């Protein structure tokens, strides 16, 4: 069979990174996916959402912020530049996974999924600016960033295991319950974006009345968000007791406890934030912890199954009979 040459296959013939390097590369992509969420929140919380007035340029005449744009222009432009750092981290993960031997197609697919999520979210960020920080596009921008975190986490976790069929370590209903928990945590995060869309930080100075807000009562949305938090805590506690009763794998027990700890910290921070008129620093910390909560929830079902190393033929071209005889 004729071999198909492309830049990736040519590089793979000359560079074969270790499994440890693949894990480091995928972890770097995961870290950057979290960083971009935090810096995106910083843009909003410093009222720099329209620091660059258009997209993809910063102004109609300039690719970079001008002196007249001041602090807000620098903050918004810096966040845009961090997208390139994120892209570089994802690119490293893709190359490391592609060049590792044996080549695992599932890993490179996860890497390319991250790439396209980064690109689509960059466009969505541009639409957010062009629509004057419409709260619904801002919320979608955040949810897309959480989708990126999800795929980056999955690629990192998969780098530590084989490509064999997934084998459950617990009964299927218990595994399904873990996905119910993940769904509730996802709804909790989504509800948080609605609270932000109706809340105190539109992304521009508060005296700017142009930026639209979600036309729903802020207090009711905050209560709606809190209800999901209570449900999440209750489900997590139930999961901890279930894991203890069925003698689930120790990693799953530890991850459930980690999720509970982050949820409780988030709950305390959320109540303080609500009664102190949502100070910027607390909101930023709340966003960071929301990302960690999402990661902690996603890691639980991943700890309830195992994947053995599958015998996979290397992707190098097959040897000719003459070469095999040497």
pLDDT at 324: 33
Q: pLDDT of 97-151, one tens digit each?
A: 999 999 899 999 999 999 999 999 999 999 999 998 999 999 999 999 999 999 9
* CA 96/CA 99 separation, integer angstroms: 5
Bridge partner residues of 307 (DSSP): 166
User: Rounded mean pLDDT of the chain?
Assistant: 89
Q: Is the per-residue pLDDT at 74 higher than 60?
A: yes
All residues at 6 or more sequence positions from 276 whose CB lies less than 8 Å from its CB, including other chains? 282
Q: pLDDT of 158-168, one tens digit each?
A: 999 888 888 99
Reference 293, options 256, 319, 326, 323; nearest CA is 256
| Residue 313 CA to its chain's centroid (Å) | 32
Among 6-15, 81-90, 270-279, the range scoring the smallest mean pLDDT is 6-15
What DSSP string runs through 157-188?
A: HHTTS-SSPEEESS-HHHHHHHHHHHHHHHHH
Reference 121, options 151, 153, 94, 92; nearest CA is 151
* CA 188/CA 29 separation, integer angstroms: 24
Q: pLDDT of 225-258, one tens digit each?
A: 999 999 999 999 999 999 999 989 999 999 999 9
Check the CA dihedral 201-204-209-210 and report its sign.
Answer: negative
Q: Is the per-residue pLDDT at 320 higher than 90?
A: no
Q: Is the per-residue pLDDT at 319 higher than 80?
A: no
* Confidence class for position 311, pLDDT limits 50, 70, 90: low
- Output DSSP code: residue 215: -
CA-to-CA dists, residue 252 to 241, 255, 258, angstroms: 12, 5, 10
End-to-end Cα separation, the chain, in angstroms: 21
* CA 19/CA 160 separation, integer angstroms: 8
Measured in degrees and rounded to the nearest 5, phi and psi for residue 124 equal -65, -35
């Amino acid at each position: 069979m004729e071999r198909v040459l492309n830049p990736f296959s040519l590089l793979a013939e000359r560079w074969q990174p270790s499994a440890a390097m693949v894990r480091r590369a995928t972890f770097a992509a995961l870290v950057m996916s979290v960083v971009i969420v935090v810096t995106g929140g910083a843009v909003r919380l410093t009222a720099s959402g329209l620091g660059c007035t258009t997209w993809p340029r910063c102004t109609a005449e300039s690719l970079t912020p001008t002196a007249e744009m001041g602090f807000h222009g620098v903050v918004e432009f810096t966040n845009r530049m961090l997208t390139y750092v994120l892209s570089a981290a994802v690119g490293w993960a893709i190359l490391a996974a592609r060049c590792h031997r044996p080549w695992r197609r599932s890993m490179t697919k996860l890497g390319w999924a991250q790439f396209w999520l980064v690109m689509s979210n960059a466009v969505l960020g541009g639409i957010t600016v062009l629509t004057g920080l419409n709260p619904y596009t801002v919320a979608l921008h955040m949810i897309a960033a959480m989708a990126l975190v999800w795929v980056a986490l999955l690629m990192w976790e998969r780098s530590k295991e084989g490509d064999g069929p997934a084998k459950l370590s617990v009964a299927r209903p218990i595994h399904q319950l873990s996905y119910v928990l993940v769904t509730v945590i996802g709804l909790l995060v989504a509800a948080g974006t609605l609270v932000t869309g109706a809340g105190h930080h539109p992304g521009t100075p508060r005296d700017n009345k142009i930026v639209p807000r979600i036309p729903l009562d802020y207090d009711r949305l905050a209560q709606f968000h809190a209800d999901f938090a209570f449900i999440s805590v209750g489900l997590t506690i139930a999961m901890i007791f279930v894991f203890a009763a069925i003698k689930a794998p120790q990693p799953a027990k530890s991850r459930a406890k980690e999720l509970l700890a982050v949820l409780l910290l988030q709950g305390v921070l959320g109540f303080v934030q609500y009664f102190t008129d949502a100070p910027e620093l607390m909101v930023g910390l709340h966003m960071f912890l929301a990302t960690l909560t999402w990661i902690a929830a996603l890691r639980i079902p991943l700890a309830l199954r195992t994947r053995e190393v599958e015998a996979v033929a290397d992707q190098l071209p097959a040897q000719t009979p003459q070469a095999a005889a040497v």
